């Protein structure tokens, strides 16, 4: 699911499971040469411009960079982020603890295995991202925003590639920003990085998919800002999904059923608002 409330985008558990770019991001191979060799002259001007613009197109307001996550070093910090009270309600199936006075969470998870509930711990995060191998070739691709000075993770976003018969769109989910790092543009830039991977041609190291979907858990603080961010990126509101998932309720200290709203962004709509010059500058560091 995908929402940038500068808080979080919930995970759709029922599915299969920058940023002050102070330094140029190195691309594997020369992109301009690739476009020419592959007979894509329509990309040559855009790619050449991107190379010339360099850092100018990559200036943001946060001193962080986007990279592929290394779960061996990131899982504990991601767990801490997901457990934040302003984040956890926006994530489907994340538990802050296995036991509260109101609920035996572990027993609840065993009773409802289809909810795919995981504990917000190092082990839980590794289980949640078991389909992620640390590369863009994974079925799920986990990106993190890392503060360049402190090396602390400031936010996350996940791309779930289309899986199953007839599926064509990527799912944008797990979109979270640390409570102390909001209002700096980090959430928006995480989303732009995800879009660079989703929509760029394969020869440009993208997935070249026809669309992206996201979902918003409704009835939570920050939703109006969330819808505004995604609308700006060209997402359209689609169907209302009653009781689509469960997420933690901070006041009740238990899981509750949540309604969601599906959002859809087509590649045609996306390319009306963006150019390859912009997207190439947002490719994540490996």
Phi first, then psi: what are they for 99, rounded to 5°? -150, 130
pLDDT attached to residue 195: 96
Tell me the average pLDDT across 259-263. 97
pLDDT attached to residue 26: 32
Q: Is the pLDDT of residue 278 over 90?
A: no
Tell me the average pLDDT across 40-67. 51
Tell which wins on pLDDT, 44 or 115.
115
Rounded distance, CA 246 to CA 180, Å? 26
Per-residue pLDDT band at 97 (split at 50, 70, 90)? very high
Query: Per residue in 13-52, pLDDT tens?
Result: 333 332 223 333 333 344 444 443 344 444 444 444 443 3
pLDDT attached to residue 166: 92
pLDDT attached to residue 124: 97
Tell me the average pLDDT across 261-277. 92
Q: Is the pLDDT of residue 108 over 80?
A: yes
Q: Which of 19-23, 41-45, 88-92, 281-285 has the lowest mean pLDDT?
A: 19-23
Query: Per residue in 192-241, pLDDT tens?
Result: 999 999 999 999 999 999 999 999 999 998 888 888 888 989 999 999 99
Mean pLDDT of the chain: 82
Domains of the chain listed by start with CATH number: 31-280 (3.40.630.30)
Rounded distance, CA 97 to CA 83, Å? 9
Copy the structure tokens of residue 110: 């065993």
Question: Going by C-beta distance under 8 Å and a sequence separation of 6 or more, which residues neighbour residue 167?
Answer: none
Q: What angle do CA 12, 162, 168 make, to 5 degrees?
A: 120
Name all contacts of 140-143 with Cβ < 8 Å and 24+ positions apart.
140/17, 141/68, 141/197, 142/68, 142/69, 142/71, 142/174, 143/66, 143/67, 143/68, 143/69, 143/190, 143/193, 143/194, 143/284
Rounded distance, CA 229 to CA 221, Å? 15
pLDDT attached to residue 228: 86
- Proportion of the chain above pLDDT 90, given as a percent: 64
Q: Which residue has 């209302």 as its token pair?
A: 240
Rounded distance, CA 254 to CA 111, Å? 14
CB burial string 48-74: b at 16+ within 10 A, e below: ebbbeeeeebbebebebbbbbbebeeb
What single DSSP character describes residue 95?
Answer: E
Per-residue pLDDT band at 5 (split at 50, 70, 90)? very low
Per-residue pLDDT band at 276 (split at 50, 70, 90)? confident
Q: Is the pLDDT of residue 60 over 60?
A: no
Query: Per residue in 133-151, pLDDT tens?
Result: 999 999 999 999 999 989 9
Alpha helices, H only, the chain: 31-37, 41-53, 71-83, 85-88, 105-111, 122-128, 186-199, 223-232, 267-273, 276-280
Copy the structure tokens of residue 146: 């890392």
The three-class DSSP label of residue 55 is: helix
Query: Per residue in 246-258, pLDDT tens?
Result: 999 999 999 999 9
The pairing of beta strand 94-95 with beta strand 118-119: parallel
Q: Is the pLDDT of residue 127 over 70?
A: yes
pLDDT attached to residue 3: 40
């Amino acid at each position: 699911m995908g929402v940038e409330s500068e808080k979080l985008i919930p995970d759709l558990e029922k599915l299969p499971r920058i940023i002050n770019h102070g330094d140029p991001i190195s691309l594997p191979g020369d992109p301009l040469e690739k476009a020419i060799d592959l007979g894509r002259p329509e990309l040559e001007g855009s790619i050449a411009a991107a190379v010339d613009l360099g850092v100018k197109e990559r200036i943001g307001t946060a001193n962080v960079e986007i990279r592929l996550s290394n779960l061996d070093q990131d899982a504990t910090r991601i767990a801490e982020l997901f457990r934040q009270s302003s984040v956890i309600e926006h994530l489907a199936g994340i538990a802050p603890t296995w036991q509260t006075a109101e609920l035996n969470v572990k027993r609840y998870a065993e009773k409802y295995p289809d909810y795919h509930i995981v504990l917000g711990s190092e082990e839980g995060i590794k289980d949640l991202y078991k389909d992620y191998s640390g590369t863009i070739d994974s079925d799920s691709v986990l990106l993190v925003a890392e503060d360049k000075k402190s090396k602390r993770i400031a936010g996350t976003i996940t791309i779930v590639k289309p899986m199953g018969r007839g599926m064509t769109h990527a799912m944008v989910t797990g979109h979270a920003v640390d409570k102390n790092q909001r209002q700096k543009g980090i959430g928006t830039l995480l989303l732009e990085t995800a879009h660079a991977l989703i929509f760029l041609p394969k020869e440009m190291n993208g997935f070249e998919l026809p669309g992206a979907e996201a979902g918003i858990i409704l009835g939570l603080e920050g939703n109006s800002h969330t819808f505004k961010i995604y609308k700006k990126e060209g997402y359209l509101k689609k169907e209302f999904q009653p009781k689509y998932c469960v997420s933690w309720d901070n006041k009740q200290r238990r899981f509750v059923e949540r309604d969601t709203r599906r959002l859809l962004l087509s590649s045609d709509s996306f390319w009306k608002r963006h150019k390859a010059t912009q997207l190439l500058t947002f490719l994540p560091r490996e």
